[in-house]
């Protein structure tokens, strides 16, 4: 196995049987700051381009993700301060499937995106960062905001801001499948799941969040996404909820172990357009080697805008 691939496996706190990394591997990991152990455990070149590569500037070189990389009783691990869970409502038995179908019909009637050649995105992210300083292990909240412009040829400029500091990066185009022009629930499900592992509802929501970082969907494609989500078992509806940016949307969640640990994955959709407003994950039963209490929110994304511009 390539050293880089092994490092990505070691970042997964659910893989407890992996051997201790070598000095070469540890040094390679020290020069990287990565925002999510599970995001990186799957091959996803476009995600790596837009998020992983630019995340290097967020913290100092000794910052690591995943306390599972540190062992021994000498470590003094303090619980991390994580965001408060979403205030999800009890929908009183309202079926998620029916609500998603109604939302899909509303999405189909929504406005088309503005005309233009350049795709423009703004979003905010937070993921659990763990810092090693001597023998003490602590974790911190490191919110990041992103603004990206994608040219027709796929080349991208991204501005990332964290702790008041902004960095700009330019990336070449990468191969990726575009969403189908004549969307159906089946074709949209296939498109969402076409890159990465997993085929269940947990994989679908996680991958939809990633797709939404650099894809402007038509009303018909958004409707297909919602109908695809309605086809999965175990989806729960929670009524209206405010996301981390204060916008009100309709919340749906699934309980899964996608990525290795039991969690609740929640997606919030715009009630008028059906677009994804926000996504987050919360550990519910077991934190593995992460030094967080249960339950704990370990990551969230708020999608602030996605449109075309000139």
Contacts of 285 by beta carbon, 8 Å cutoff, 6+ apart: 261, 262, 294
Please tell me the distance from the alpha carbon of residue 249 to that of residue 270, in angstroms, as a whole number.
Answer: 5
Q: pTM for this one?
A: 0.74
**Pairing of β 136-150 and β 156-162:** antiparallel
DSSP string across 133-197:
ETTEEEEEEEEEEEEEEE-TTS-EEEEEEETTEEEEEEE-----PPPPSS--HHHHHHHHHSSSS
Q: Are 125 and 160 in contact (CB under 8 A)?
A: no
- Counting Cβ atoms within 10 Å, is residue 71 exposed (0-12), middle (13-18) or buried (19+)? exposed
The per-residue pLDDT string of the chain (310 residues; one tens digit each, 9 = 90 and over) reads 433 333 333 333 333 334 444 444 443 333 232 233 333 233 333 343 444 333 322 222 223 333 222 223 333 345 767 888 888 887 778 999 999 999 999 999 988 866 789 999 999 998 776 555 555 555 566 789 999 999 999 999 999 998 889 999 999 998 888 999 999 999 999 999 998 889 999 999 999 999 999 999 999 999 999 999 999 999 999 999 999 999 999 999 999 999 888 999 999 999 999 999 999 999 988 877 677 788 889 889 999 999 998 8
End-to-end CA, the chain: 44
Q: Are 26 and 129 in contact (CB under 8 A)?
A: no
Q: Are 144 and 114 in contact (CB under 8 A)?
A: no
Angle at 178 between CA 173 and CA 183, to 5 degrees: 170
């Amino acid at each position: 196995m390539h050293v880089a691939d092994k490092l990505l496996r070691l970042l997964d706190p659910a893989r407890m049987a992996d051997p201790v990394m070598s000095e070469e591997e540890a040094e390679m990991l020290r020069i990287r700051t990565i925002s999510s152990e599970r995001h990186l455990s799957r091959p996803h070149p476009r995600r790596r381009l837009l998020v992983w590569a630019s995340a290097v500037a967020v913290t100092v070189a000794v910052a690591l993700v995943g306390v599972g990389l540190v062992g021994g009783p000498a470590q003094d691990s303090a619980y991390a301060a994580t965001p408060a869970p979403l205030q999800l409502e009890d929908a009183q038995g309202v079926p998620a499937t029916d609500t998603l179908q109604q939302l899909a019909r509303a999405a189909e009637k929504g406005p088309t995106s503005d005309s233009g050649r350049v795709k423009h995105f703004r979003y905010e992210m937070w993921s659990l960062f763990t810092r090693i300083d001597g023998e003490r292990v602590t974790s911190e909240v490191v919110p990041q905001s992103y603004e990206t412009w994608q040219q027709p040829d796929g080349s991208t400029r991204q501005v990332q801001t964290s702790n008041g500091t902004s960095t700009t990066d330019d990336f070449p185009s990468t191969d990726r499948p575009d969403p189908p022009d004549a969307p159906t629930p089946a074709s949209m499900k296939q498109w969402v799941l076409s890159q990465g592992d997993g085929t269940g509802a947990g994989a679908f929501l996680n991958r939809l969040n990633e797709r939404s970082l650099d894809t402007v969907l038509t009303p018909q494609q958004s409707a297909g996404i919602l109908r695809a989500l309605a086809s999965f078992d175990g989806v729960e509806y929670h009524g209206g909820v405010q996301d981390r940016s204060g916008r009100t949307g309709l919340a749906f969640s699934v309980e899964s172990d996608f990525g290795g640990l039991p969690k609740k994955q929640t997606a919030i959709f715009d009630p008028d357009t059906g677009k994804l407003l926000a996504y987050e994950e919360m550990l519910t039963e077991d934190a593995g080697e992460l030094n967080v209490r249960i339950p704990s929110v370990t990551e969230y994304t708020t999608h602030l805008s996605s449109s075309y511009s000139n």
